[in-house]
Structure 1
Amino acid sequence: MIRLDDLTVFVLAADNGSLSAAARLLNIAPAVASAAIKRLEAELGVRLFARSTRSLRLTSDGARYVEFARNALSELRAGQDALMHERDALRGALTLSIPSDLGRSVLAGWLDEFMAQHPALTVSVRIGDTPVDMFRQPVDAAVRYGVPDDSTLVASPMAPDNRRVLCASPAYFARHGKPATPEELHEHNCLRYALSETMHDRWSFAKENDERVVKVSGNRVSDDGELVRRWALAGHGLAYKSHLDVLADLRAGRLETALDDWTGESAPVNLISTHRLAATPVLSRLRDFLQTSTAAYLDAR
């Protein structure tokens, strides 16, 4: 009979391209992980992986079987969540991917509250701005800006009206003044954000029927939104940030906005999940909690 633990090792090894990585994620010895794969291959009568001293890749049989294994684990987890929900207690494990800036400044505290409400729940957080593959990586949900193009994903809105704002520290504006038009950004040091080889250096603004896109420049670039925010707080230049990311800084006076009569580009915040996981009790409860927390945070004075 196929063991659930063996399926788990198989899926994690396939997703991470390494038995040792799967072993680390499960906190087991590499030899135990290897034995699980051998046991599963013997049960199925096929080779699931082609192994060498340097690589591990799925065979054609393994590539066909991994989707069945992944779906089976998801269905079993959904069934377990459903049973827990009937007892009005969330249990099990949740893996969540969150962006660097919003994750550290806001979401981390909210997750503390959510776990305090559900102490039997184990949460694993992956923090970073690089998009995750919801089908190939062991992630249940992700908080991300924008709506995914993939129709197999579900986007539950947290802050649908969120936009980007131009901001800097009071000290920076005291030294350099505030730009009066988007074109004056050429005279300022702009703190740029780059991700996956894409430089986000075209900042857009709109006012009535007037739309402007300005290609900005500056002496600092990062692939970490939190670092860009810290540079802005330290007075190193202008940042074009999600309003939700810098809301606490704006309220405290650590940052100030500019070009207030112009509207920045849309940056809706969503909780992203796959269709088969979207309705699980854990994710449903998390979605409701995040939507309520976001609304309260935006309404606070």
Structure 2
Amino acid sequence: MKALNELTLFAETAKQGSFSKVANQMDMTPAAVSASIKRLEEQVGFPLFVRTTRRLSLTGEGELFLTKVNCALATLNEGVEEIANARGALTGNIYVSAPSDFGRNLLLDWINEFTDLHENVTVRLELSDQLVDMYSKPIDVAIRYGELPDSNMVAIPLCPQNVRVLCASPDYIRHHSPVLHPNDLNQHNCISFMVAGSVHNHWPLSYDSQQVVIETKGAISANDGDVVRRLGLKGRGIVNKSLIDASQDIIEGKLRKVLPDWQGESVPLYMVCADKRQLRPIIREFQKFLKEKCQSQFDKVSHILNN
């Protein structure tokens, strides 16, 4: 196992670019990490890193070796997981990236439940409404909305029927003029979501054969989906939310659908990974668990909206 530990330290050092960062993460001293890397270099017979006072970077040989080491570690970890799963105990680590609103208000509770069911599973959750580069970051799976621009990735549906809905707090609806047609949105404060500095204030809506895109205006926009949600809950205006994100607030009566006869754009929810080889048993079980949770939540909110 000593050789395996040294390979793991090497891969982590290549990712962090620092002995001290790896030492802190692994509860070791920087000197111990450095000594481990030096032993590995002596075993393979070539330098793995170029060391300067300011930087630690891979040599050409180190870069080639890293690709092989990452593949080997992934295979070994998968083997350990499969053996543990065959014994009836799910085990392993899952690195998850998810949107802020979905992550904070639904996914976090579901992850707590999943790890309670499987005591040997650990989950690391990164919340961001920006698209995470899954090729460069240590992310196993990402939760994403909409169709993928990168067809090389693997996308597994979690909630394919998810759509956007216009909603507002009961207090906002009570104190402002009714919205009977999409054009009435021009008279209301509409809170928009931003991505990469671009404000998503063009809201597509459809009803029977009618299709419109309304350019909305509002006093506030934000690049965090949970902030947009909170502004809606505070009665600051109308929001255009993913139904699965707004589901619990609608179920609890904190938000109400605006223009109930009009349909928002489709935003299917997927679990995404960069390569099908990442679909280890633990990932497949996690996906199955989340899909069941999403379906149950979607059914609950659909029942409220349709009655």
Q: Would the TM-score normalized by the shorter structure come out above 0.5?
A: yes
Q: Which residue of 2 aligns with 1:234?
A: 234
C-alpha change, 1:179 and 1:23, in structure 2 (3 Å) is: farther
Q: Deviations over 1:222-263 (max 9, x none)?
A: 221111111110011111110000111111111111122221
Q: Which residue of 1 aligns with 2:125?
A: 125
Q: Which residue of 1 aligns with 2:277?
A: 276
Q: Deviations over 1:32-76 (max 9, x none)?
A: 333333333333333333344444433333333322222211111
**Percent identity over the alignment?**
37
Q: 2:244, 2:297 within 8 Å by CA — same for their partners in 1? A: no
Q: Which residue of 2 aligns with 1:100?
A: 100
Deviates more, 1:127-136 or 1:117-126: 127-136
Q: 2:142, 2:272 within 8 Å by CA — same for their partners in 1? A: yes
C-alpha change, 1:85 and 1:258, in structure 2 (3 Å) is: same
Q: 1:155, 1:272 within 8 Å by CA — same for their partners in 2? A: yes
Q: Which residue of 2 aligns with 1:33?
A: 33
Report the residue type matching 2:70 in the other structure: R
Q: Which residue of 2 aligns with 1:224?
A: 224
Q: 1:152, 1:275 within 8 Å by CA — same for their partners in 2? A: no
Q: Deviations over 1:13-36 (max 9, x none)?
A: 333444444344434333333333
SS in 2 for 1:10: helix
Q: How many residues align?
A: 300
C-alpha change, 1:100 and 1:192, in structure 2 (3 Å) is: same
**Backbone CA RMSD of aligned residues:** 2.3
Quote how far apart the aligned CAs of 1:2 are.
8.1
Following the alignment from structure 2 to structure 1, what is the Cα–Cα distance between the partners of residues 251 and 31? Answer: 54
Q: How does 1:57-206 map onto structure 2 within 5 Å?
A: 57-206=57-206
Q: 1:78, 1:277 within 8 Å by CA — same for their partners in 2? A: no
Following the alignment from structure 1 to structure 2, what is the Cα–Cα distance between the partners of residues 81 and 188? Answer: 53
SS in 1 for 2:36: helix
Following the alignment from structure 1 to structure 2, what is the Cα–Cα distance between the partners of residues 281 and 42? Answer: 36
Q: 2:247, 2:297 within 8 Å by CA — same for their partners in 1? A: no
Q: 1:179, 1:258 within 8 Å by CA — same for their partners in 2? A: yes
SS in 2 for 1:57: strand
Runs of 4+ in 1 over 4 A off after TM superposition: none
Report the residue type matching 1:260 in the other structure: P
| Alignment gaps of 5+ in structure 2 | none
Quote how far apart the aligned CAs of 1:163 are.
0.5
| Alignment gaps of 5+ in structure 1 | none
Report the residue type matching 2:164 in the other structure: R
Q: 2:90, 2:118 within 8 Å by CA — same for their partners in 1? A: yes
Q: 1:97, 1:126 within 8 Å by CA — same for their partners in 2? A: yes
Q: Which residue of 1 aligns with 2:263?
A: 263
Following the alignment from structure 1 to structure 2, what is the Cα–Cα distance between the partners of residues 186 and 49? Answer: 60
Q: How does 1:12-51 map onto structure 2 within 5 Å?
A: 12-51=12-51
Deviates more, 1:151-160 or 1:233-242: 151-160
Deviates more, 1:260-269 or 1:52-61: 52-61
Q: 2:164, 2:265 within 8 Å by CA — same for their partners in 1? A: yes
Quote how far apart the aligned CAs of 1:176 are.
2.0
Quote how far apart the aligned CAs of 1:123 are.
1.8
Quote how far apart the aligned CAs of 1:110 are.
1.2
C-alpha change, 1:145 and 1:136, in structure 2 (3 Å) is: same
Following the alignment from structure 2 to structure 1, what is the Cα–Cα distance between the partners of residues 199 and 8? Answer: 38
Q: With the length of structure 1 as denominator, give the TM-score of the two structures.
A: 0.90
Q: 1:171, 1:235 within 8 Å by CA — same for their partners in 2? A: yes
Report the residue type matching 2:3 in the other structure: R
Q: 1:9, 1:23 within 8 Å by CA — same for their partners in 2? A: no
SS in 1 for 2:178: coil
SS in 1 for 2:161: coil
Q: With the length of structure 2 as denominator, give the TM-score of the two structures.
A: 0.88
